Structure 1
Amino acid sequence: MICPKCKAENSDSAKFCKKCGTKLEGNAVNHETLINSMNEEKKSNNTKIIIAVLIVVIIVLAGAFIYLQGFGNNSHSQDASPSQGSASNSASSADQGSSSQSSNAKSNNAQSNPMKIISGSFSTGSELSDLTYANIFVGKEHAGKSVILQIWYSRDGSTLNNGNMVPVTVHSDGYLEVQSADAYAYYPDHATINLYDSNSNLLDTKSVSLSPTSGTQTF
């Protein structure tokens, strides 16, 4: 028997501990039982230690996984940013290129279709005291543009007017309209039309023969 007080081993028939004198009857613990109890306690402690170690390992691994995931996402974002910037720059460049092409197209169109005197008409009154009116067609695509119109009227080779340069705006129907400053002593038999841009650069000129009578004559 094992003394419950000092743990000294005694014979199974002993009634008192041989070491401390404690009464053993009813209090003594069987040696085998004590050994088994100690072994169970030791196993329990070992199990607790193993569980604690496993928990620590799991926590460390989880932390490492989370860290690596975050690092990977940051790296991906940084890699994506230049690409997005490049895409944005490409889109901006494309827009600028498109705008530039559109401007060039308009410029080329204007150069390929400069303003010219296409057709028109002259109107004179029934009396020589009436003014002479000119309607010059240059095309609807030039509507709203400001130009300068000069018309020389003559009869039998003699000039009838001073050929004033008159600023006018192309109407929505593509026509320019201008009247003579004064009435003429004779009906004109010829008109020379000069068309200038707003900077007085000559765009076109046209010579028109007229019948020296009243009425409207087209060309």
Structure 2
Amino acid sequence: MKCPNCQSENSDTAKFCKKCGTALNTEPAPNSHESMVKSMNEHKSQNNNTKIIIVALVIVAVVLAGAFVYMFTSGNSASNSANHADSASQNTSKVDTSDDDEPATASKTSDSSSSKSSSSSMTIKGGSFSTGSADADKTYASINVGKEHAGESVIVQIFYSRDGNSLNNGNMVPAHVHDDGYLYITSADAYLYYPDYATIKLYDSNSNLLDTQSVSLAATSGTQTF
């Protein structure tokens, strides 16, 4: 080892110059390889920490996105269920009036201007069926439910048949009880044959069945009571 002051040679373990007494640096020179390895390890550790942070952020983002989608889907599902339930409730109050039997003509319309809700105690007390002189005439039904129910709203369904064969579809027709206690229902279509059997079904305004009556008819024209 050379003395930095006088350039004299000294042993590697000498702490002072043997010539001038200058203190010598006897600490071993840093190992460049070890320093490089340490630097690389520190750099790798930093990279690993960065990766861990990125992965954690991605996981958090995925969890938040999933929660948002779940909340949005659940909200739409609940809204659709409520809309469906409301639509079903409204549909139950609708009645098909597109086809067969229809309310009587204006000459038989009730004089009562107010419509009352139908009573669960309403029953069919009797009535009559009338047909014209030809098979192609419509059939008229007069159904007595009692004057005490005048002005109440009901639904009537009448099935006509001949020799066991149905003549109509028996659609449900809304009607009002007239002041005389009768319901007047006219068939929507004329039939090719006189009916020999009729089944009357009486419902309240909410389509709850109140009473049913079957009537055997003579397959001729005219009025027949029951």
The normalised TM-score by structure 2 is 0.47
Larger fraction in helix: 1
The normalised TM-score by structure 1 is 0.49
Larger RCO: Structure 1 or Structure 2 (Cα < 8 Å, ≥ 6 residues apart)? 2
Larger Rg: 1
